[in-house]
Amino acid sequence: MNEQTLTKLEYDRIKRMTVDMTVSPAGRELAEEMRPSTSHGQITAWLREAHEASELLGSGASIPLSPMDGIDVFMALLGKGKIYTEGELDAVAVWLTSVAQMKKYMRSKIHIAPTIGSYAESMDECKPLREELARCIRYGRLTDESSADLAYIRRQMYAMEDKIAKKMDQALSKYKSALQESIVSKRSGRFVIAVKRELRKQVPGTVLDESSSGQTLFVEPNDIAELQQELSEWRAAEERERSVVLAQLSHLAEGYAIPLTTNVQAMAAFDFIMARGKLARSMSGRLIEISPEPVIVLKGARHPLLGPSSVPLDVELGLGWKQLIITGPNTGGKTASLKTMGLLALMTQSGLLIPAEQGSRMGIFRHVIADVGDGQSLEQSLSTFSSHIAVLKQMFDHADSASLLLLDEMAAGTDPSEGIALSIAVLERLLERGALVAATTHFNEIKSFASRTPGCQNGRMAFDPETLLPLYRLEIGEAGDSHAFAIARRFGLPEAVMTRAETLLRSRGVPESGAYPAAVELSAPSMAPVKTEQPKGDERASDSPAKKGQGIPFQKGDAVWIYPLKRAGVVYRPADERGNVVVQVKGEKLTFNRKRLKLYIAKSELYPGETYDLDIVFESKANRKARHSMSRKHVEGLEIVIPSDEEGAVD
């Protein structure tokens, strides 16, 4: 599967949740290696395991999983002749006890989990090894029962320590006046008493250490020096015998290398399977049907990272249609719907139970590729549009009937006209390839394509027109609206801005301030002139006797493309007898020959009605206010400044 897609669909977060639910290093390693499969048999087996694990957890019993503390280190050194410590061998004994408990537990639950219950039969309790380790090691220390020689040596040590203790008590009493304090301590493994420096000569013996201040000397009295030397010899003998016993136990463990390895693998598998069961229960995951055909049928599905409070998704893809075009408002759940479909497909193919209702089914996809998010990358110098194209290239490289392709915000990031055309061409070719496609868009042309094309279907995210809130529910069969104004209002944009936007949308004309034509001009440099259909009743008929051979004449208010400036302007005065046209560009009036102009947007397409007052476009706000006042009464000193028709000429 595509790594970028796994990241965009947040598959890594699901994997991390699974890893966190393991209890052993070996189980954690299996979870970290989890990836979607394309094998029907493998996926079916994985899902059956996860389902049985979920059922076991639901039965309320405590599953005796072992954390296998220290076993990874033990297994890494097994077969290399190492003599293990008491702690390492004790960890093996504890672990083998867990193996025996797991076998017993799984046998008792075979009616609930027949598949994973059978896995326990591959485990070997290694009973002779476990019993020998239990006899020889207790609480991380060799027992006296582990060796007769070790038991004898320790008895001698205990007796010698008793003698020394009695001698030290006598020394404390005998040298009481010379002592800093009446306690016995140890230095370098030997018993000493704390003597005042100035009274050192009163205590015959060897100074083994002194305090940091130098005022206290730690002296081994001569009375016990010989006894301590004998104790040291017994301790050395104990260490030699301890090494012999540990070597024997290590050799015994080496003989169980194969069953121990099998046990580690089985216990790790149980840990990973149970982690998948825990994940399923945490998100109400369910075992769904695996379809032999590449289809998606989700009923009551929820995005696993959004929780149970999210609105359930009902969607079909691959049955009646191969492509689903989802429309609706921003923040309405379009992208979440795409991510839900993609992530649940990846989870299913990874052997994870998904949060969906009975009746859901999922096909197996060789490729799941998602173009979700803007994909900008400073490191790779990718713009939003470039990143979309890069993903589309991957889709065309792999698109076939077993591919699931997810496209978010088609036609975004570039010129809308070109983006729409490119998007429709992409959908047509992907439809020919038979790939399953779910896409989101705001463009009506793409909605129309879906409605008229066999194999395509529209869907919309539901929206409440009364509360102006998205309902996050996908409805199949109808295209939706973007509801941009409603959402903008809900987020608190100024009402004056909203009213103005609605006026512009209704009229497709010019605002009262006269700034809208300038906005048209500003948007023009990156756009080529377009052919505009001549409206019915337009006075500039090309067969007019006065205009024959001169092309279509311009009218005041027409938006025209100015070739020398490579931008648009608005006709202020039509062509005179020499063919010169006065055009307003960014508030300035410039003269061009009509041959250097081309109709960009006809007047009838820009302004509402034939009676629209074009002075709004060409006159300043101050002049219009003055004209209004003068139409009502005479105002002393009030004047209207009318600029020259030709402030500048451009050849």
Q: How many of the other CB atoms lie within 10 Å of CB of 562?
A: 22
For position 508, what pLDDT does the model report?
54
Distance from C-alpha of 317 to C-alpha of 407, rounded to nearest angstrom = 14
Distance from C-alpha of 38 to C-alpha of 364, rounded to nearest angstrom = 6
Q: Could you give phi then psi for residue 439, rounded to 5 degrees?
A: -135, 155
Class for domain 289-490, per CATH?
A: alpha beta
In this structure, the chain runs to a length of 651
Signed CA dihedral, 401, 406, 412, 414: sign only: negative
Signed CA dihedral, 122, 128, 129, 131: sign only: positive
Distance from C-alpha of 426 to C-alpha of 70, rounded to nearest angstrom = 56
Local structure of residue 522 (DSSP, 8 states): H
For position 471, what pLDDT does the model report?
84
Distance from C-alpha of 74 to C-alpha of 87, rounded to nearest angstrom = 10
The structure's pTM equals 0.71
Q: Which DSSP string do the residues of 62-75 spell out, in sequence order? A: PP-----TTHHHHH
- Mean pLDDT in order along the chain per 10 residues (651 residues): 91 98 96 97 98 94 89 90 94 95 94 94 95 95 95 95 89 87 86 90 88 90 88 94 97 96 96 98 96 96 91 94 91 90 98 97 97 55 71 93 94 81 94 96 91 94 77 87 80 86 68 38 39 44 40 83 85 91 87 89 75 72 61 57 51 51
For position 544, what pLDDT does the model report?
38
For position 378, what pLDDT does the model report?
38
Q: Give me the numbers of helices (H) and strands (E) for the chain, helices first please.
A: 21, 22
For position 468, what pLDDT does the model report?
67
Q: How many of the other CB atoms lie within 10 Å of CB of 48?
A: 16
Q: Which DSSP string do the residues of 104-162 spell out, in sequence order? A: HHHHHTTTT-HHHHHHGGG----HHHHHHHHHHEETTEE-GGG-HHHHHHHHHHHHHHH
Distance from C-alpha of 514 to C-alpha of 523, rounded to nearest angstrom = 16
Residue 638 tokens read as 């009030």
CATH code of the domain made up of 146-249:
1.10.1420.10
Distance from C-alpha of 299 to C-alpha of 360, rounded to nearest angstrom = 5
Residue 486 tokens read as 């409603």
Distance from C-alpha of 514 to C-alpha of 614, rounded to nearest angstrom = 9
Helix axes 257-282, 86-108, angle to 10 degrees: 60
For position 200, what pLDDT does the model report?
87
Strands 216-221 and 323-327: unpaired
Burial class (CB in 10 A: 0-12, 13-18, 19+), 18: buried
For position 549, what pLDDT does the model report?
39
